[in-house]
Chain A
């Protein structure tokens, strides 16, 4: 039971998606343009936004950026697949996932559920790692970064960070097994619950956004590092110059 705001200009698609989601027990509010969608945001207080990119007036891209400025709620792009470039730009603007039209209600709901799940499903590799889920401290410190797994809060140098749901999930997943390399396909499966063959650009875009928020210099990432030819890994975080000691300092600087 989620509250979904659907911003889509085509009445038939609006109706079809509404029908499908309502049947599955979700509460839907529809908006025919980006402007009305932004207005509905405060009134309807949705759990999630389904956003068409091709909108009259304010573009879906602009709407995505505006929503992201103030809110952390999940945004899923409803994409007309021809607009490949728009899609990448949309992901960079802060969308958490995308769905290619035409899509069945089942697919839409699966994506919604995946993005609404606050935590990543149990990963066997990470589970056997040093950072267990239970019975261990939920607050970890990696250099200047503090991750609270219970409260789902991330702070950098003491200041709380505003992360989009996909960014947070990716960071939680990677930091649960520092130093371990994950392929982009694996991340797609685990964090986005896409099939193995999903669009890896989703991962790349999310990593870029995440780096922009947590790294001191996104061009020389320390926390989320690229392993050429394989994928991404968390750390190893060096005893950074901005950290006040070689050991993990509780709560950061």
Chain B
């Protein structure tokens, strides 16, 4: 089956054309053939009857065999161009043919019987040596002029048979077939032109629809197609346009709702910041007084609780603001070239994780220099290491290596950092969700140190660098986070370049 709609249309069109031509030709041929044969037959019967009418009265009755011979000889001679051969039989007597005939006429027995039964002229088509022939059996009636005791019109008992070749008619019919063939092939070739044209006309709107659908699929929801005509395809185009309009409206509505939701989160975080700024400034004052022993125990506890939770709230709002910036696309990279080992050790030291010794193991070569936003990579590393310390178990090992990117230009290198803890690993059903916002693996442990946004922020920061952050369980059992960041080489400094 041809796959292309155009090919299928053309083939179908041609098939229909060929079939109709074939049927027409077949019917015409049949009609023409029978007309030709009927005409030949009628004229032969007419000729034979005329001959009989002129010759039979001279025949003595009952005729002797010699009379019949002469009679058939006369008939043969009178056949003219038709060149029939005749035979005569009287009252079930044997067939008598003209003397000297090299080949007696082939008179089928069935013909003789039919004549005997019906008593009228009977014709029968036969074939002899593959050539069509026509045999005629004609009983001779008494003519009015015959006189005597016989009634005019009464069968005389004499039956004359004539038989001749239909070769000429066959040639005519063959010519008909040849003519039909000669006409059909060019007609089919000619039919190809309207077939192609029709296929094009039908397919053009189909192609337009396909292009339109592709544009919609690629996100161009503003795509509309021109509607022409009033056929089914234009209906389809109209429906397509309606669909596109609906899609566009829904899409805009969804975007608007999402933007509103995100802006709301950002606004909430923003609004929380001013009161938090006031509270955060005084947490140490609270701590100091609570630890001074000057306050009643209950009050001191309450005060400490408030200052602790205020700090957590500050962290959470900061993370929320950060996420909002990513959502708004407002997060910017401030690239700097730094040593990766320095980066990692600073992260560990600043978070106070270098004590106790061996809690975090940094296995990063000294010579890897990376061009990244140090603050953002610090956030990523801190989240990964902190996550390993909180949910896994020490030691958390940070390893790194530098690779040339496979299949890319030589100007791109890839730095891979893995952070592995030695805890029990992450359950398989939790693994796909660890980067989700506010995802809590354990509902019972609803609150932890973090804001629940740490890993989500880590992922966003990685993406901002054009890298990827994935998680899996290491063969050793602990969770292993893999951070992959492409590094453009040689370095250039957009900030400096933009300003100086």
A residues adjacent to B (C-beta < 8 A)? 10, 12-13, 15-17, 19-20, 23, 80-82, 84, 101-106, 108, 183-185, 195-201, 204, 208, 219, 221, 226, 228-230
Tell me if B230 is interfacial: C-beta within 8 Å of chain A: no
Tell me whether B338 and A185 are in contact (CB under 8 A): yes
Q: Which of B283-298 contact A (CB under 8 A)?
A: 283-285, 288
Q: Which of A13, A15, A197 contacts B274 (CB 8 A)?
A: A13
When distances are taken between beta carbons in the complex, the residues of chain B under 8 Å from A183 are 336-338
Given known contacts A12-B274, A104-B284, A198-B375, what 20 new A-B pairs fall within 8 Å (CB)?
A10-B278, A13-B278, A16-B279, A16-B281, A20-B281, A20-B284, A23-B288, A80-B273, A84-B332, A101-B276, A101-B280, A102-B278, A103-B280, A183-B338, A184-B336, A196-B343, A196-B350, A199-B375, A229-B337, A229-B493
Q: Which of B270, B332, B378, B496 contacts A82 (CB 8 A)?
A: B270
Known: A12-B275, A208-B499. A105 touches B282 (CB 8 A): yes
Tell me whether A105 and B284 are in contact (CB under 8 A): yes
Tell me if B137 is interfacial: C-beta within 8 Å of chain A: no
Tell me whether A199 and B281 are in contact (CB under 8 A): no
When distances are taken between beta carbons in the complex, the residues of chain B under 8 Å from A228 are 491-493, 496
Nearest B-chain residue to A10, judged by Cβ = B274
- For the complex, give the distance between the alpha carbons of A219 and B346 in Å: 34
Tell me whether B334 and A200 are in contact (CB under 8 A): yes
Tell me if B374 is interfacial: C-beta within 8 Å of chain A: yes
Known: A199-B375, A226-B496. A101 touches B277 (CB 8 A): yes
Tell me if B495 is interfacial: C-beta within 8 Å of chain A: yes
Nearest A-chain residue to B379, judged by Cβ = A197
Tell me whether B374 and A197 are in contact (CB under 8 A): yes
Q: Which of A13, A195, A200 contacts B336 (CB 8 A)?
A: A200
B280, B337, B378: residue with the most chain A Cβ atoms closer than 10 Å: B280
When distances are taken between beta carbons in the complex, the residues of chain B under 8 Å from A196 are 342-343, 346, 350, 374, 378
Q: How far is the CB of A152 from chain B (nearest CB, A)?
A: 27
19 CB < 8 A contacts A-B: A13-B277, A16-B277, A19-B281, A23-B285, A82-B321, A84-B330, A103-B281, A104-B280, A108-B281, A183-B338, A184-B336, A196-B374, A197-B350, A200-B374, A201-B334, A219-B500, A228-B496, A229-B491, A229-B492
When distances are taken between beta carbons in the complex, the residues of chain A under 8 Å from B276 are 101-102
When distances are taken between beta carbons in the complex, the residues of chain A under 8 Å from B422 are none
- For the complex, give the distance between the alpha carbons of A197 and B338 in Å: 11
- For the complex, give the distance between the alpha carbons of A224 and B334 in Å: 21
Q: How far is the CB of B290 from chain A (nearest CB, A)?
A: 13
Q: Which of B280, B375, B492, B495 contacts A197 (CB 8 A)?
A: B375
- For the complex, give the distance between the alpha carbons of A199 and B332 in Å: 12
Known: A183-B338, A184-B336. A229 touches B371 (CB 8 A): yes
Q: Which of B280, B347, B493 contacts A102 (CB 8 A)?
A: B280
Q: How far is the CB of B339 from chain A (nearest CB, A)?
A: 9
Tell me if B314 is interfacial: C-beta within 8 Å of chain A: yes
Q: How far is the CB of B451 from chain A (nearest CB, A)?
A: 14
Nearest B-chain residue to A24, judged by Cβ = B284
When distances are taken between beta carbons in the complex, the residues of chain A under 8 Å from B499 are 204, 208
Nearest B-chain residue to A80, judged by Cβ = B273
Tell me whether B282 and A19 are in contact (CB under 8 A): yes
Nearest B-chain residue to A9, judged by Cβ = B274
When distances are taken between beta carbons in the complex, the residues of chain A under 8 Å from B337 are 183, 229-230
When distances are taken between beta carbons in the complex, the residues of chain A under 8 Å from B314 are 102
Contact indicator per residue, chain B 368-393, by CB within 8 Å of chain A (1) or not (0)? 00010011001000000000000000
- For the complex, give the distance between the alpha carbons of A23 and B500 in Å: 44
Known: A82-B321, A230-B337. A17 touches B270 (CB 8 A): no
When distances are taken between beta carbons in the complex, the residues of chain B under 8 Å from A104 are 280-281, 283-284, 311
When distances are taken between beta carbons in the complex, the residues of chain A under 8 Å from B374 are 185, 196-197, 200
Nearest A-chain residue to B339, judged by Cβ = A183
Q: How far is the CB of B318 from chain A (nearest CB, A)?
A: 8
When distances are taken between beta carbons in the complex, the residues of chain A under 8 Å from B273 are 80-81, 101-102
* 4 closest residue pairs by CB, A with B: A16-B281, A16-B278, A12-B278, A102-B280
When distances are taken between beta carbons in the complex, the residues of chain B under 8 Å from A208 are 499
- For the complex, give the distance between the alpha carbons of A23 and B48 in Å: 148
Tell me whether A226 and B285 are in contact (CB under 8 A): no
Tell me whether A106 and B284 are in contact (CB under 8 A): yes
Tell me whether B334 and A221 are in contact (CB under 8 A): no
Tell me whether B281 and A13 are in contact (CB under 8 A): yes
When distances are taken between beta carbons in the complex, the residues of chain A under 8 Å from B311 are 104
When distances are taken between beta carbons in the complex, the residues of chain B under 8 Å from A221 are 500
Known: A183-B336, A197-B375, A200-B334. A17 touches B492 (CB 8 A): no
Q: Which of B323-381 contact A (CB under 8 A)?
A: 325, 330, 332, 334, 336-338, 342-343, 346-347, 350, 371, 374-375, 378
Q: How far is the CB of B9 from chain A (nearest CB, A)?
A: 61
- For the complex, give the distance between the alpha carbons of A17 and B277 in Å: 9
Q: Which of A16, A84, A204 contacts B282 (CB 8 A)?
A: A16
Q: How far is the CB of A250 from chain B (nearest CB, A)?
A: 31
Contact indicator per residue, chain B 471-494, by CB within 8 Å of chain A (1) or not (0)? 000000000000000000011110
Nearest A-chain residue to B378, judged by Cβ = A197
When distances are taken between beta carbons in the complex, the residues of chain B under 8 Å from A82 are 270, 321, 325
Tell me whether B336 and A102 are in contact (CB under 8 A): no
- For the complex, give the distance between the alpha carbons of A102 and B278 in Å: 7
- For the complex, give the distance between the alpha carbons of A108 and B285 in Å: 13
Q: How far is the CB of A224 from chain B (nearest CB, A)?
A: 10
Q: How far is the CB of A83 from chain B (nearest CB, A)?
A: 10
Known: A195-B350, A229-B493. A105 touches B375 (CB 8 A): no
Q: How far is the CB of B417 from chain A (nearest CB, A)?
A: 16
Q: How far is the CB of A54 from chain B (nearest CB, A)?
A: 10
- For the complex, give the distance between the alpha carbons of A155 and B342 in Å: 37
Q: How far is the CB of B247 from chain A (nearest CB, A)?
A: 34
When distances are taken between beta carbons in the complex, the residues of chain A under 8 Å from B496 are 204, 226, 228
When distances are taken between beta carbons in the complex, the residues of chain A under 8 Å from B500 are 219, 221, 226
- For the complex, give the distance between the alpha carbons of A83 and B278 in Å: 19
- For the complex, give the distance between the alpha carbons of A226 and B493 in Å: 10
